[in-house]
Amino acid sequence: MTLVLIKKSWLYIAIVFLCTLVGAYFYFQTSLGAITTVKPIGDEFELHMVTTEFKTTTEDGREIESYRWDPGTVYIPKGKDITLRIYGVNGKEHPFQIEGTNVSGTIRKGEETILQLHFEEEGIYRLICTAHSTIDHHGPMIAYLIVD
């Protein structure tokens, strides 16, 4: 019978090494198989957005608010047909344009606006609410459409 002695420090090193391997496995599983917010439907992608509003009261009693698109950033594959559905939740209406395109319209509270989009050029296209383009007008209400 052979007796093997393991030093306590070697046991700690082995445990740390094993934990590092397990952590690396789960890290790379998550980042390589990232959860997507876009579900491909054949060659078409469908995205959903809403209009949102943030309100708060400052210490001196002044109410401040800001309108936003949610989500504020979406990733779109180049050369695919995109259906963008935007539902108006907060704010009476949001006239918008997509910078670098001829796409424009208005999102109204309680209504869904459906846009058919197709981008052939990579880049960042800003979805801008023209009524809320600056802080003075409860903005900037800008979403980023990242085409790659």
Tokens of residue 93, six digits: 């209406």
Given this model, what pLDDT does residue 117 score? 94
The residues of the chain scoring below 50 in pLDDT are 35, 37
Given this model, what pLDDT does residue 39 score? 53
Given this model, what pLDDT does residue 98 score? 96
- 95's CB contacts (< 8 A; 6+ apart) are 104, 105, 106, 129, 130, 131
Give CA–CA dist 75/48, Å, rounded. Answer: 12
Given this model, what pLDDT does residue 134 score? 85
pTM: 0.68
Given this model, what pLDDT does residue 21 score? 75
Given this model, what pLDDT does residue 19 score? 72
Given this model, what pLDDT does residue 50 score? 94
Q: 141: closest CA among 47, 54, 41?
A: 54
Q: Is 122 helix (H, G, I), strand (E, B) or coil?
A: coil
Angle 121-94-36 from CA coordinates, rounded to 5°: 50
Query: CA distances (Å), 84 to each of 40, 53, 73, 78, 114, in order?
Result: 13, 20, 13, 15, 6
